[in-house]
Amino acid sequence: MNEPLDDAATYSPRKYRTPDGAPADIVIFTITSQARNTVKKSLPTRQLEVLLIERKGWPFAGQWALPGGFSKDTETIIESAKRELQEETGVEDVHIEYLNVYSEPGRDPRGWIISHAFVALVHENYLAGRRAADDAADVRLFPVEEALAMNLAFDHNLILQDALNRIRHQMLTTTIAREFLPEEFTIGELYQVIEAVVPEFVERNFIRKITSTQSRKGIIEEVRDSRGELKMSNRYSQRAAQLYRFTDFLPQLSIYS
Amino acid sequence: MNEPLDDAATYSPRKYRTPDGAPADIVIFTITSQARNTVKKSLPTRQLEVLLIERKGWPFAGQWALPGGFSKDTETIIESAKRELQEETGVEDVHIEYLNVYSEPGRDPRGWIISHAFVALVHENYLAGRRAADDAADVRLFPVEEALAMNLAFDHNLILQDALNRIRHQMLTTTIAREFLPEEFTIGELYQVIEAVVPEFVERNFIRKITSTQSRKGIIEEVRDSRGELKMSNRYSQRAAQLYRFTDFLPQLSIYS
DNA sequence: GGAATAGTGTCTCTCAGACATTATGTC
DNA sequence: GACATAATGTCTGAGAGACACTATTCC
C-alpha cells in the first residue's frame, strides 16, 4: 500500500503521477434485417453490426473508432457510458453493461488514459434514423467481421473482439436475445437472432427444447390476446406462427448439475 | 466526444479535472480446512474465507478493508493487482481475474478515485505462513459471512458481495474449484469445495454425473500411477477413494442447447 | 459390530438427437 | 402444384432423480 498515513487535515494529494483521464468506450451492437427479394414472404437475412465513428482529430485522425468520451467526476463510469450512448444514438434505456478495463501503458498517445469499455445492445429500429444517412456520414454501422478486419483506432480491435466473445457467450447462456427482438416474436425470429451472433449454433429440435423441455420450460411463454386465444403472426411466413415473449425466468446452468 | 481536435504538436492536456488515482483492490478468497476431532479419519470442515487488512491511516483508520494499492502509469491495472497480491500474501501465479470498476462519486474521501476490483483464488497452503500470526496481526482471514456483516472501509462491502456472487456463479459453471484443491483430489473433496462456496448445492448422484454423463465426462479424469494402476487416497476416509484431476475440458453451457 | 466414507444397482420418467411427416397459406 | 415456413410424430439410447444397497477400513 502506498497510501499516505496522515489524517484528513494533513492529507495532501500524492506526489505520484495520476491518470490523465478515464473514458468510457461503447461497443454498440445491433442486428439488422434485410428483406430477401423473393416473391413470397420469407425470413429476412440478419446480420450483427457494430456502430463506429470516424475520428476527426489527433490521434488516429481518419480512422474508425468506437464511440466514447471522458467521464466526469460527478458521475459513475456507467453513467458516462449511458450519456455517450444517448449522444451518439439518441437512445436511452437499452441494455448496456460493463465489459472490461483497458490500461496498457501507451495505448493512448495523449497520456495515461485508462479506458472502460461497455457493450450496448440496441434494436435496429432505434437506429433507423441514423441508418438513412449511412454512406455519407461519419457514423456508420459495420458488419462485425468487416469491422474486425479494419485497422481501428487505439486498441479498439481488441475491445471489439472481447465484446464479441462476451455476447457470443451470453447469447447462449442468458436471454440477451430479447434485446434484439420485438416484445413478441416467433421461434423463427429468435433462432435467427441466435444464429446472427453465434453462426455455429445449430439445434434441429429447437422449438421442442425451448417450449417443452422440463428444465427450460418457462424461458419464453406463448402470447395470448384479450380473449385468451393464442396470438399468431404471419409477417414472415405463409403459415401463421405462434408468438412468444420472454419471461423473467433464467435457468441456472451448471457443469455439475 | 469532448476530445480536443488539434494534432500531436499542438495537443495540450485537457482542462477538465482528471482522476486522482486508479487503484486495484483485491478480494482474496481461500477455503480453509479444519480437521474434526473425531477419533477416526473424517472429512474436514471447509469454510470460504476472505483476506482483509486493518487500515492504519486516514481515511477509515481502524476499519478493515480489502488489500489494494494505486496503479502506476508503467503497468496495466491487472499487473498492479498481481503486484499487490504478491506484496500482501507472497504468492504469485495464482488465479486472479478482473471483477468490476467502482466509480461512485465520493466513494473515496481523498478525491476522485476510480477503483478496480479483482478476485484472487488462493489455496490455503499458500497462506499458511500468515495464518500462524492470525490473532495479533493486522492482516487476517475472515469467514465471508462474517466479513459481509462487518462495516468495511470505502464501498468494500459492495465489492465483497459482488465478488461472492461472481465466484458462486463461476463455481457452478467453470472449473475454478481447481484453485482451491490440490492437483489430485477425491470426489468428496471436490464436493466439499463446491459446498463451501455454494451452500445450497445438493447433488445426490454427484459421482455419476461428473464421471459418466456423456456431456460432462472429461471435466475430471482418474489419476493413474506409473504402472497404469488407478491411484487411490485414504487421507480422509477408511475406504480408499479414487483420485481425480481436472482436465482442460470445459463443457459449453447453453439455455437453448 | 458401529461409524464414516466410497461407490454400485436398479427403477421410472424425461430428454436428446435424428429424421420423416403433416400443416398452412402464397404465388 | 411448387414453395417456404411452422409444427408434430416417432423411435432409440442416454440421462435425471430417488433411494436402497454393498464395500472398505478403523476402532
Q: Which range (A71-85, A90-104, B59-73, B135-149) has the least confidence?
A: B135-149
Indicate whether this model's pTM tops 0.75.
yes
* Contact predicate B136/B74, CB 8 Å: no
Mean pLDDT of B149-173: 97
- Taking contacts as CB-CB distances below 8 angstroms, the residues of chain A near B202 are none
Confidence of residue B40 (pLDDT cuts 50, 70, 90): low
CA–CA separation, A148 and B51 (whole Å): 41
Q: How far is B37 from chain A (nearest CA, A)?
A: 31
Whether residue A57 and residue B6 make contact (CB cut-off 8 A), yes or no, is yes
Q: Which set of grid coordinates corresponds to residue A185?
A: 416474436
**Which of A57-71, A118-132, A134-148, A227-241 holds the top average pLDDT?**
A57-71
- Mean pLDDT estimate for chain A: 89
* Contact predicate B211/B205, CB 8 Å: no
Q: Does B101 touch chain A (CB under 8 A)?
A: yes
CA–CA separation, B162 and A149 (whole Å): 36
CA–CA separation, B251 and B253 (whole Å): 6
- Is pLDDT at A1 greater than 50 in this prediction? no
- Is pLDDT at A46 greater than 70 in this prediction? yes
Q: Which range (A20-24, B144-148, B201-205) has the least confidence?
A: B201-205
CA–CA separation, A84 and A16 (whole Å): 30
- Is pLDDT at B2 greater than 60 in this prediction? no
- Is pLDDT at A12 greater than 90 in this prediction? no
Q: Under the phi-then-psi rule, with left for phi > 0, alpha for psi from -120 to 50, and beta for the rest, what region is A161?
A: alpha
pLDDT of residue B62: 93
- Is pLDDT at A22 greater than 70 in this prediction? yes
pLDDT of residue A2: 44
Q: Does B17 touch chain A (CB under 8 A)?
A: yes
End-to-end CA distance of chain A: 42
Does the C-beta of B214 come within 7 A of strand D? yes
Q: How far are the Cα atoms of A123, A128, A203, B103 from residue A179, in angstroms, in the given order?
A: 6, 16, 21, 26
Contacts across the A-B interface (CB distance below 8 Å): 174
Q: How far are the Cα atoms of A27, B79, B103, B155 from residue B2, in angstroms, in the given order?
A: 18, 29, 20, 30
Q: Does A28 touch chain B (CB under 8 A)?
A: no
Give the number of other CB atoms < 10 A from CB of residue A123.
17
* Separation in Å: C24 C1' and A87 CA: 46
Residues 120-179 of B with CB under 8 A from A: 172-175
CA–CA separation, A179 and A51 (whole Å): 16
b (16+ CB within 10 A) / e for A42-66:
ebeebbbbbbbbebeebbbeeebbb
CA–CA separation, B122 and B134 (whole Å): 17
CA–CA separation, A55 and A74 (whole Å): 26
Q: Return the nearest residue to C13, CA–C1'.
A: A214
Whether residue B253 and residue A255 make contact (CB cut-off 8 A), yes or no, is yes
Three-point CA angle A104, A108, A112, nearest 5°: 70
Multiple choice CATH, B23-173, 3.90.79.10, 3.30.1330.60, 2.102.10.10, 1.10.10.2520? 3.90.79.10
Beta bridge partners of A246: A220
pLDDT of residue A180: 96
Convert the pLDDT of each residue in B6-31 to its tens digit: 566 666 655 789 999 999 999 999 99
**Closest residue on chain B to A24 (Cα):** B1
- Is pLDDT at B132 greater than 60 in this prediction? no
CA–CA separation, A253 and B169 (whole Å): 9
pLDDT of residue B173: 95
H or E segment and range at residue A25: strand A23-34
CA–CA separation, B143 and B100 (whole Å): 22
Q: Does A20 touch chain B (CB under 8 A)?
A: yes
Convert the pLDDT of each residue in A197-226 to its tens digit: 999 999 989 998 898 887 778 899 999 998
* Contact predicate B194/B171, CB 8 Å: yes
Sign of dihedral through CA atoms A213, A215, A220, A222?
A: positive
Mean pLDDT of A27-46: 81
- Taking contacts as CB-CB distances below 8 angstroms, the residues of chain B near A77 are 101, 103, 114
B172 against B38, higher pLDDT? B172
A137 against A213, higher pLDDT? A213
* Contact predicate A3/B57, CB 8 Å: yes
φ/ψ (deg, to 5) at A65: -145, 165
Mean pLDDT of A4-22: 71
pLDDT of residue B39: 58
Whether residue A16 and residue B76 make contact (CB cut-off 8 A), yes or no, is no
Q: By C-alpha distance, which of A72, A73, A42 is closest to A189?
A: A42
pLDDT of residue A78: 97
Q: Which set of grid coordinates corresponds to residue A254?
A: 451448471
SS3 string, chain B, reads CCCCCCCCCCCCCCCCCCCCECEEEEEEEEEEEECCCCCCCCCCEEEEEEEEEECCCCCCCCCEECCEEECCCCCCHHHHHHHHHHHHHCCCCCEEEEEEEECCCCCCCCCCECEEEEEEECCHHHHHHHHHCHHHCCEEEEEHHHHHHCCCCCCHHHHHHHHHHHHHHHHHHCCHHHHHCCCCEEHHHHHHHHHHHCCCCCCCCHHHHHHHCCCCCCCEEECECCCCCECEECCCCCCCEEEEEECCCCCCCCCCC
- Is pLDDT at A159 greater than 70 in this prediction? yes
φ/ψ (deg, to 5) at B172: -90, -20
